[in-house]
Structure 1
């Protein structure tokens, strides 16, 4: 019983894990950009970052832990999400319509969004230190 009480209190200290994939999850918007919404969820030591547009449409999401990333199969443009370990699932001939905008950043992770000329949005997740030391690294992953 004591072990359950300890694990329960440790779990309660983490951000919520429910709501991933929802238009308006019941958690704080932590976006660094007024043109997007960003939501963070924690479960089992994995951080999930979801990016939505201003209308609440889920654009894409990634999971990250210890410098490793994975794209999640949710969001309108999930096929265009890239990480250091994964290129986008599909290629596009659309060009960037604007420069990459930082949508979320913490001490370990940076997530950017780049509107493309065909109306899609490319999401890119990187280790924050790569973007902090050389901003060209963040922009060089845009396909």
Structure 2
């Protein structure tokens, strides 16, 4: 999932000592790896954790992180995105894209194929 700038510590921190690899200037994305699992953590600019998504092989999962439960659309468990939602690409790697769909009902985070 993550191709560069992967850290081994700091997952869940407000301001981890890791490189910001976000494609969206309104968010910060950090990549972590431990025990064969890769994690992408998304923070807002104030440092609040919005979502953490893990990947092990072909399996993707969302961690219960942050102040509110994030809605996450995963390859094996798709959520319906409202038609009026605005699409923001947050992170892109060779094998995956992390997208934020913003709507009046809140954000939906989505793991998609590039």
TM-score where L is the length of structure 2: 0.80
Which 4+ residue blocks in structure 1 deviate beyond 4 angstroms? 94-98
Q: Does 1:31 align with 2:18?
A: no
TM-score with structure 1 length normalisation? 0.66
Q: CA deviation at 1:17?
A: 2.4
Q: What is the distance in 2 between the residues matched to 1:19 and 1:107? A: 24
* Higher alpha-carbon Rg: 1
Structure with greater strand percent:
2
CA distance in 2, matches of 1:34, 1:98: 19
In 1, distance between residues paired with 2:77 and 2:8? 24
Cα RMSD after superposing both structures: 2.4
Structure 1 distance, partners of 2:103, 2:26, is 14
- Cα shift readout 1:59-87 (whole Å, capped 9, x = no counterpart): 11111132321111112443412211234
Q: CA deviation at 1:57?
A: 1.1
Aligned twin of 2:94: 107
Secondary structure of 1:81's aligned partner: strand
Aligned position for 1:74: 65
Structure 1 contact 67–108 (Cα < 8 Å) conserved = no
Aligned length: 110
Q: Given the alignment, which residue of 111, 117, 124 partners 2:110?
A: 124
Gaps of 5+ in 2: none
Long gaps (5+) in structure 1: 1-13, 133-143
Larger relative contact order (Cα-Cα within 8 Å, sequence gap ≥ 6): 2
